[in-house]
Amino acid sequence: MIISKWLTSAKHALRGLRCLFINERNARIHLFLACLTLGIGYFLHLSITEWCLVILCISFVIALEAVNSAIERAVDLVTPDWHPLAKDAKDLAAAGVLLISLGAAVVGAIIFIPKLITLFTLG
């Protein structure tokens, strides 16, 4: 019974991921950048701690992109017409994605730039 409920929940979550990446251009951009980051991380032999930080940042960005998309859809469902509060809700959700993305970029810079400098100066 518990496993059945968990499998049903997982099925819905996977459908949500499919919906996210099929319908949301920004989510596909984030996914592309995530794959690129993971590939570069593999090439640069990140430490366990660095991998944890990179994976957490990627997870946060994509998760918040999903929340942003959900908020946009919910707002559109409630009021398909333009409304200043609807605009604020959408803009605030987008701001959250922007902030977490900038934070992830800073973490990435802290991790990757010294390794790339070392690679190219010793190369």
CATH number at residue 97: 1.10.287.3610
pLDDT at residue 1 greater than cutoff 80: no
Cβ atoms of 60 and 107 closer than 8 Å: no
Residue type, 46: L
Beta carbons of 76 and 108 less than 8 angstroms apart: no
Residue in 24, 50, 65, 72 annotated catalytic: 65
11-68 residue pLDDT tens? 999 999 999 999 999 999 999 999 999 999 999 999 999 999 999 999 999 999 999 9
pTM for this one?
A: 0.91
**Domain count along the chain:** 1
In a domain, 90, yes or no: yes
- How many residues appear in the chain? 123
Instruction: Tell me which DSSP letter residue 50 carries.
Output: H
Q: Which amino acid is present at 5?
A: K
- Looking at per-residue pLDDT, the higher value among 58 and 1 belongs to 58
**pLDDT for res 4:** 87
Q: How far is CA 106 from the centre of its chain?
A: 15
- Indicate whether 123 pLDDT > 80: no
**Residue 25 to residue 85: CA distance in whole angstroms:** 24
Question: What span, in angstroms and rounded, lies between the C-alpha atoms of 18 and 62?
Answer: 12
Is 2 contained in some domain? no
> Is 81 within the bounds of a domain?
yes
pLDDT in tens, 57-107: 999 999 999 999 999 999 999 998 999 999 999 999 999 999 999 999 999
Domain span including residue 44: 25-122
In a domain, 8, yes or no: no
Q: Which residue has the tokens 């990179």?
A: 54
Whether 65 sits among the annotated catalytic residues: the reply is yes
Residue 3's pLDDT band (boundaries 50, 70, 90)? confident
